[in-house]
C-alpha cells in the first residue's frame, strides 16, 4: 500500500523532527495522489526523506496532524496481524465455508462456542448467519446457534456438574451428525471448548476451530483450523471476527444468496 505524500518546504523538517505534531498548509510544497479528508498520508522533507505519517484535512490551515510514534507502532502491529492472517488463513476459511455449505445443504446447522470475548464472537457470528451479513442484501436465515446464551442451562449445569461440560452437553443434546461446530479459543486450550470438540467428534459433527497461532489442543480435533498468526489475545480476537465475516460472506456466495 502506498500512501499519498505531503512534501514539505525547505526548513520544515527540523520542526517536525523536534516533535511538532502538525503541518500547516503554508509549509507544504506539494501533495501527491490527491488525498481525501481523513486519509493517512506520509510526510517527507524537501529531499524526500520520510518524517512520519499523519491524517490529512484539506479544509483546515492545519493540513496534517501527525501520528505519534507510539501510536504508529501500535497501529502497525494491528495492521501486520490482519495482513498475515489474510495470507495464512484465506485457503482454510474457504474450506470452512464449503464445509458449512455442505452441512446446511443437507439440513444441518452451525453451533458456536467460546468463553469471554470468544463467547461474544459466538453470538455475533451466529447472528450473522440467522439474520444476514448485510442488511442491503436480505436473504433467508441460515440455521445457527450460539451455545453461550442460555443462562439458565449454563448456570444449572455448571452448578451441578462443573463448567467443563457446559458446551459438550449441548453438543451431545442439540447436535446431529452432519452439523458443524465452530469452536473459538484464542489459546486453543480452553477446557470446555476442547470437551465440546470431543463430543462433536463422538457424534459425527464436523469442527472448525478458530485459535491463535499455536492451535493448541483444538488443532488435534479440527477438520478445519483457522489459526491467527499471533500470540496477542486482542489481535487474535479482532482477526476471528474478520475471519467470521469472510466465512459468512463466502457461505452466502457459495449458496448464491
Render pLDDT for 143-185 as a digit per residue (tens, 0 to 9).
999 999 999 999 999 999 999 999 999 999 999 999 999 999 9
pLDDT at 74: 53
**3-class SS shares of the chain: helix, strand, coil, % to 5:** 45, 20, 35
pLDDT at 42: 84
User: Would you call 21 helix, strand, or coil by DSSP?
Assistant: coil
DSSP assignment letter at 33: S
Please give the Cα distance from 238 to 145 (Å, whole number).
21
pLDDT in tens, 177-202: 999 999 999 999 999 999 999 999 99
Name the residue with higher pLDDT: 67 or 234.
234
Whether the pLDDT of residue 75 is over 70: the answer is no
CB-based burial of residue 40 (10 Å sphere; 0-12 exposed, 13-18 middle, 19+ buried)?
A: middle
Q: What pLDDT score was predicted for residue 217?
A: 98
What local confidence, expressed as pLDDT, does residue 3 receive? 77
Please report the pLDDT score of residue 17 as a whole number: 73
Q: Is 70 exceeded by the pLDDT of residue 92?
A: yes
Give pLDDT, residue 22. 78
* Residues above pLDDT 90, as percent of the chain: 66
Q: 85-254 belongs to which CATH class?
A: alpha beta
Instruction: State the residue for C-alpha cell 444441518.
Output: 108
Superfamily of chain region 5-71: PUA domain (2.30.130.10)
User: For the chain, which residues make up each domain, given as ranges?
Assistant: 5-71, 85-254
Question: What are the φ/ψ torsions at residue 108 (nearest 5 degrees)?
Answer: -85, -175
Whether the pLDDT of residue 141 is over 90: the answer is yes
Question: Please, what is the average pLDDT of the chain?
Answer: 91
**4-24 mean pLDDT:** 81
Position 71 scores a pLDDT of 52
Mean pLDDT value across residues 58-78: 67
> Does residue 1 register a pLDDT over 60?
no
pLDDT at 68: 63
Look at residue 77 and tell me whether its pLDDT is greater than 70.
no
pLDDT of residue 29: 87
Cα gap 16→63, rounded to integer Å:
14
Instruction: Place 64 in a pLDDT band, splitting at 50, 70 and 90.
Output: confident
Q: Write out pLDDT tens, residues 215-257.
A: 999 999 999 999 999 999 999 999 999 999 999 999 999 999 9
Amino acid at each position: 500500500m502506498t500512501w499519498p505524500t505531503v512534501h514539505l518546504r525547505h526548513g520544515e523538517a527540523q520542526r517536525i523532527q523536534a516533535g511538532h505534531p502538525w503541518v500547516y498548509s503554508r509549509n507544504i510544497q506539494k501533495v501527491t495522489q490527491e488525498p481525501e479528508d481523513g486519509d493517512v498520508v506520509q510526510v517527507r522533507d524537501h529531499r524526500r526523506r520520510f518524517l512520519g505519517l499523519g491524517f490529512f484535512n484539506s479544509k483546515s490551515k492545519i493540513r496534517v496532524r501527525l501520528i505519534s510514534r507510539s501510536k504508529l507502532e501500535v497501529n502497525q502491529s494491528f495492521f501486520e496481524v490482519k495482513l498475515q492472517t489474510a495470507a495464512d488463513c484465506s485457503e482454510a476459511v474457504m474450506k470452512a465455508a464449503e464445509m458449512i455449505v455442505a452441512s446446511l445443504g443437507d439440513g444441518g446447522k452451525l453451533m458456536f462456542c467460546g468463553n469471554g470475548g470468544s463467547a461474544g464472537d459466538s453470538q455475533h457470528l451466529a447472528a450473522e448467519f440467522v439474520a444476514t451479513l448485510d442488511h442491503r442484501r436480505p436473504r433467508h436465515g441460515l440455521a445457527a446457534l450460539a451455545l453461550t446464551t442460555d443462562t439458565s442451562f449454563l448456570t444449572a449445569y455448571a452448578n451441578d456438574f462443573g463448567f467443563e461440560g457446559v458446551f459438550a452437553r449441548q453438543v451431545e443434546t442439540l447436535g446431529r451428525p452432519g452439523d458443524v461446530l465452530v469452536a473459538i479459543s484464542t489459546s486453543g486450550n480452553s477446557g470446555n471448548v476442547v470437551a465440546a470438540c470431543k463430543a462433536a467428534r463422538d457424534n459425527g459433527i464436523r469442527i472448525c476451530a478458530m485459535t491463535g497461532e499455536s492451535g493448541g489442543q483444538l488443532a488435534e480435533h479440527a477438520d478445519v483450523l483457522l489459526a491467527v498468526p499471533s500470540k496477542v489475545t486482542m489481535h487474535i480476537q479482532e482477526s476471528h471476527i474478520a475471519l467470521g465475516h469472510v466465512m459468512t460472506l463466502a457461505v452466502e456466495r457459495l449458496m448464491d444468496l
